[in-house]
Amino acid sequence: MNSAYLYAAARTPFGRFGGALAEVRPDDLAATALTGVLAKAPALDPAAIGDVVWGCANQAGEDNRNVGRMAVLLAGLPTSVPATTVNRLCGSSLDAAIIASRAIESGDADVVVAGGVESMTRAPWVLPKPSRAFPAGNVTAVSTTLGWRLVNERMPAEWTVSLGEANEMLGDKFKIDRVRQDEFAARSHELAAKAWDEGFYAGLTVPVPGVDLARDESIRAGSTPEKLAGLKPSFRPDGTITAGNASPLNDGASAVLLGSSEVAGLIGSQPIARIAGRGVHALDPQDFGFAPVEAAAKALKRAGITWSDVSAVELNEAFAVQSIACVDAWGIDPSIVNARGGAIAIGHPLGASGARILGTLAARLRETGGRWGVAAICIGVGQALAVVLENVA
């Protein structure tokens, strides 16, 4: 069986909700990330791409008609390049990378681009279609930006609590107080701002045409636990989760170029990292924030390593409380987690986040020379994914 390798990664800067990318369609964002990652492999003939696997969580508006295929066409790739769009909510683009790696390992493809996109700003309101013509009474437009919508009445109520309330419950369970959450969030902003200042993200991001956005828009340099402590709780009057210690709503796209070892000459560069292990886990929907714990354990086992071998972790920061719960459960050194900032600062455009953390992880391993790294992401409705990378640069 072949091994699957990561050759390149690229993403757009992530815009805040209603911010600099608000006027950019999600399919155009996707095309930008796709074009950006292929620009890092100028020797590669795009016609040699065996497939494009793209993630998107919403798919209710301009992203609804297989946005992966739309990206291929808008990017000007040959029409012979196929594409599919997958949806595992927040984990969609990491799932896309996993699917792409399996295609390479099985020999179904030699080169695959994986990625994802989300425009949470442009997510539409939807109306349920009536079962009969001209129904009497009012109908309600439902926002598709985030969370449950058009809930099936057969779902148990405890499964369909808001994402914020689910994580308040997680904080209660593990006794993670507001102080720890605000400290974690302030660190995310501090490290992300520093990473940009030091040029770490310059090689990972590509500009969006027609938009003046040089870096991730949600980063707040100078955030401190004391400043964050002044924010009001968002989900409970006496709660611990605020707009400051949870990921914001964002727009953006990300992509990774994967291939077998045999295509290095075709791509024109050597691989950066090997996909060494994968893990997926599911539990009760309201406990989704804790699901990365077992997903990572499965990925580590399949890679044949343990946490003691790992030098870098990219854990998507949906909420500070769930990130802290996972790091505590793993029993690892917190300093190796999101050392270049996380989603609380950088942003969490749902379908783009998985490929974003995978590309960041590969860059961190290359920067430090560490051998093993883990990328993990929690997923709404009780799931998580994890990938182990081995540095081969």
User: How far apart, in Å, are the Cα atoms of 1 and each of 92, 101, 160, 237?
Assistant: 25, 12, 42, 55
DSSP structural state of residue 16? E
Q: Are 66 and 127 in contact (CB under 8 A)?
A: no
Phi and psi (nearest 5°) for 284? -60, 135
Active-site annotation, residues: 90, 348, 378
Amino acid letter for position 252: G
Helix (H) or strand (E) holding 106: helix 92-106
What is the C-alpha to C-alpha distance for residues 278 and 95, in angstroms, rounded to an integer?
10
Cα–Cα distances in angstroms (integers) from residue 280 to residues 186, 295, 321, 374, 385, in the given order: 30, 5, 21, 13, 5
Q: Which of 37, 123, 53 is nearest to 88 (CA)?
A: 53
Q: Give the Cα separation of 144 and 131 in Å (integer).
A: 21
Beta strands (DSSP E) in 72-181 are 83-86, 111-119, 125-126, 142-143
Instruction: Please report how the helices 353-368 and 92-106 are oriented relative to each other, as an axis angle in degrees rounded to 10.
Output: 70
Residues in the chain: 393
Residue in the block written with tokens 């909420």: 319
Can you read off the two tokens belonging to residue 110? 């030699």
